[in-house]
A and B are shown apart, each in its own frame.
Chain A
Amino acid sequence: MHAHSTTHRTTSTTSTTTRTLRTLGLGATALVLTAALAACGEQSAPDPESAATSPSSETSEVTSAVVVGDPWVRATKGTEDPSMTGAFMTLDNPGAEPVTLVSASSSVAGTTELHEMAMLDGAMSMQAVDDGIVLEAGRGKVLEPGGFHVMLMGLRDAPAPGDEVDLSLVFSDGSTQDLVVPVKAFTEEEGHYHAPGTGDHDH
Chain B
Amino acid sequence: MAVPRVSRRGLLGHAGTTGLGALTGAGLVVAVDPGTPVGPPESIPAAPVGTTLAPWGPHQPGVAQAPPAVLEAVALDLRPGVDREALGRLMRLWTGDIEALTAGRPAPGDPAPWLSVPGADLTITVGVGPGALGSDRFGAGPAGFTDVPPMVHDRLEERWGGGDLCVLVAGRDATTVAHAVRRVVADARPFARLRWTQQGAWNGTAPDGSPQTGRNLFGQVDGSANPRPGTELFDRTVWVPEGRWAGGTTLVLRRIRMNLDTWDGLTREEQERSVGRRLADGSPLTGGGESDDVDLAARDEQGRPVVALDAHVRRSHPALHGGRRIFRKGASWTREVPGPRGPRLESGLLFSSYQADLADQFVPLQRSLDELDSLNEWTTAVGSAVFAVLPGFEQGDWLGRSLLA
Contacts and interface: CB of A to CB of B under 8 A. Distances in A.
B54 A18 contact: yes
Interface stretch (A96-104, A109-117, A131-139, A161-169): A161-169
B376 to A, nearest CB: 45
Nearest to A22: B398
Contacts of B398: 22, 30
Contact of A42 (B90, B103, B401): B103
A198 to B, nearest CB: 17
Given A47-B48, A162-B191, A187-B111, A42 B118 contact: yes
B109 A184 contact: yes
A44 B111 contact: no
B109 A30 contact: no
Nearest to A31: B396
B397 A182 contact: no
Interface stretch (A55-63, A66-74, A119-127, A150-158): A66-74
Interface size class of A (residues with CB under 8 A): 35 or more
Interface stretch (B23-31, B92-100, B128-136, B164-172): B92-100
A44 B103 contact: yes
A163 B190 CA distance: 9
Given A22-B96, A74-B109, A161 B118 contact: no
A108 interface: no
Interface stretch (B81-89, B141-149, B302-310, B353-361): B81-89
B321 interface: no
A164 B92 contact: yes
Contact of B8 (A22, A34, A47, A71): A47
A11 interface: no
Contact of A182 (B92, B111, B404): B92
B405 A26 contact: yes
A15 B92 CA distance: 27
Contacts of A20: 99, 395-396
A46 B95 contact: no
Nearest to A48: B8
Interface in A7-50: 15, 17-18, 20-23, 26-27, 30-34, 40, 42-49
A187 to B, nearest CB: 6
Contacts of B106: 70
Nearest to A164: B89
A65 interface: no
A18 B191 CA distance: 29
B187 interface: yes
B108 interface: yes
B104 interface: yes
Contact of A46 (B118, B186, B187): B118
A23 B3 CA distance: 27
A interface: dominant SS: loop
Interface residues of B, number: 43
Interface string B363-405: 0000000000000000000000000000000111110010011
A45 B190 contact: no
A90 B86 CA distance: 26
Interface string A71-84: 11010000000000
A182 B48 contact: no
B187 A184 contact: yes
B179 to A, nearest CB: 15
A91 interface: no
Interface in B1-24: 3, 5, 7-8
Contact of B190 (A40, A161, A180, A187): A161
Contacts of A185: 109, 186, 189
Contacts of B109: 72, 74, 88, 184-186
Contact of A188 (B85, B86, B100, B111): B111
A160 interface: yes
A69 B109 CA distance: 12
B396 A21 contact: yes
B96 A182 contact: yes
B324 interface: no
Nearest to B191: A162
Contact of A22 (B5, B85, B100, B397): B397
A68 to B, nearest CB: 11
B105 interface: yes
B8 A49 contact: yes
B89 A45 contact: no
B271 interface: no
A38 B100 CA distance: 14
B119 interface: yes
Which 9 residue pairs are nearest across A and B when measured between Cβ atoms?
A: A162-B190, A32-B396, A72-B108, A184-B109, A44-B52, A44-B3, A72-B109, A70-B108, A30-B396
6 contacts: A26-B405, A45-B119, A72-B108, A161-B190, A185-B109, A187-B111
